[in-house]
Copies of this chain bind each other. A is one copy, B any other.
């Protein structure tokens, strides 16, 4: 029995387009003489469709598209994620479901049992949980189907715990094959967790296991694909490519050779960011990006990512020096753009800055230079980028990193301007690692950019360390407090830090909430991003004690 696993990149809500792609894969599978084709979770709508699900019209259109797919199923067994109505009026109106189809007939649905309501997920907002596990019989095989989370509760170190373990329930039905359809978003090193979990699931079920995971970026979430299959001993035998559409074939009867899997987390992180940029532009029918280049490592890395995602000819770098910009930064920016073959525009802002100082002198006079003056420079730059965006159609990419966003060491409406924040979920530590990774084969980012001390260059002789502890410390608190939900005391113990430092940094994280709330959407690549899946009040009085 031959199974075709189609790893596709849907566009959220574009139901006909997604269905066209699904049908195109069905045709390819038939050419390959496949018996079964498998698609991902919510394949017709793309995942997550969010509040589009509140519109009846949207659900009805999805049903029509499912019927088009059924029409194409002659002699082919199709397993596809879709969303279907729940007719019990005292429950949530939808199920996150799998349609199982054969020979122009809908054989049935299997509804998702475990609905995640943590992190970036809020599936209870829309869905009623499915109650039972079941198998579908086809050509003498019993095929079990689970939707994403349904398989994740099986392993102890999974994110969430549930009363029910659908894997254990399914085992009672003795499946010959288990298919898991998923839309499991990427975060740094998550693939290793996914591999471990499904290896355990395959061992428990003692059958082959196939996982089809959505690929593609949608707003802030990146789905890495990496669809996979395991033999009944829990050994990995297929692994689709990450971050691109792909497919593989599994022949249930043929002996399967073990896949030689090597970890490469930095490469995956870089590819996730590239895909995040690429799909944001492609799916919005946009092509060109502009980036304010300071000569610092963050904007340098964003320029590399943008050039890879959009092509260097679609990227415009803009250097906007003020009286506080160093000559070396200017030289570094030019060198970087030369290396990447990206056009660089110089627009000095000092004259405008002086005009603001003049106009505002009744307000500024007699008061010390402070963040007001620093922010003026950052905001003039933001305005220039936005004017270029408005007039020439370039989308501004914002370059602030997660450590700065945590500390509020960014200017609202200044360097926070942009349609997409490329590094918003990448800590400064990882920014450096990625910059070095980019330079792995040859020097693209001038080494002086990586080696110089971080500075915003918004006043004379300014260094980040004037107002922040070293980023290695910031990033430990970021990991402990934001990602792992540890208390101050626990962070002190785990990382051997001073309690005062830790408390001060936690307070700064909360204080910057109001800035982050107005930041651009950012590509999520960690377990807890500031921009999606983390909800804190701005107005609140909790003090870590």
A interface residues, Cβ below 8 angstroms from B = 11-15, 17, 48-52, 54-58, 61, 89-91, 117-118, 122, 124-125, 161-163, 218-219, 279-280, 283-284, 347, 349, 351-352, 355-356, 359-360, 363-364, 367, 370-372, 375-376, 379-380, 382-384, 386-388, 390-392, 412-413, 417, 419, 485, 487-488, 514, 517-521, 534-542, 544-545
Contact of A124 among B61, B124, B280 (CB under 8 A): B124
Contact of A539 among B280, B392, B544 (CB under 8 A): B280
A251–B390 Cα distance when bound, in Å, is 66
A223–B67 Cα distance when bound, in Å, is 46
Distance to closest chain B CB from A17 (angstroms): 6
Contact of A61 among B352, B363, B540, B545 (CB under 8 A): B545
Contact of A125 among B122, B359, B371 (CB under 8 A): B122
Q: Are A485 and B367 within 8 A (Cβ)?
A: no
Q: Are A539 and B283 within 8 A (Cβ)?
A: yes
Q: Are B390 and A539 within 8 A (Cβ)?
A: no
Contact of A413 among B57, B163, B383, B521 (CB under 8 A): B383
Distance to closest chain B CB from A388 (angstroms): 6
Distance to closest chain B CB from A143 (angstroms): 28
A517 — which chain B residues lie within 8 A by C-beta?
A: 520-521
Assess A538 versus B359: contact at CB under 8 Å? Given A370-B390, A390-B372.
no
A391 — which chain B residues lie within 8 A by C-beta?
A: 360, 363-364, 367, 370, 372
* Ranked 3 nearest A-B pairs via Cβ: A14-B541, A13-B542, A372-B390
Residue of B nearest to A518 (CB): B518
A392–B364 Cα distance when bound, in Å, is 9
Contact of A514 among B57, B363, B384, B419 (CB under 8 A): B419
Given contacts A57-B488, A352-B352, A372-B391, 18 further A-B contacts (CB under 8 A): A13-B540, A14-B540, A17-B541, A50-B537, A52-B542, A90-B162, A117-B117, A117-B122, A117-B125, A122-B124, A122-B125, A218-B537, A219-B539, A351-B355, A360-B384, A363-B387, A386-B412, A521-B538
Q: Are B487 and A537 within 8 A (Cβ)?
A: no
Q: Are B485 and A54 within 8 A (Cβ)?
A: yes
Residue of B nearest to A160 (CB): B92
A380 — which chain B residues lie within 8 A by C-beta?
A: 383
Assess A386 versus B359: contact at CB under 8 Å? Given A11-B540, A14-B541, A545-B61.
no
Distance to closest chain B CB from A361 (angstroms): 11
Distance to closest chain B CB from A292 (angstroms): 14
Which of A54, A279, A280, A367 counts the most chain B CB atoms within 10 A?
A54
A17–B279 Cα distance when bound, in Å, is 47
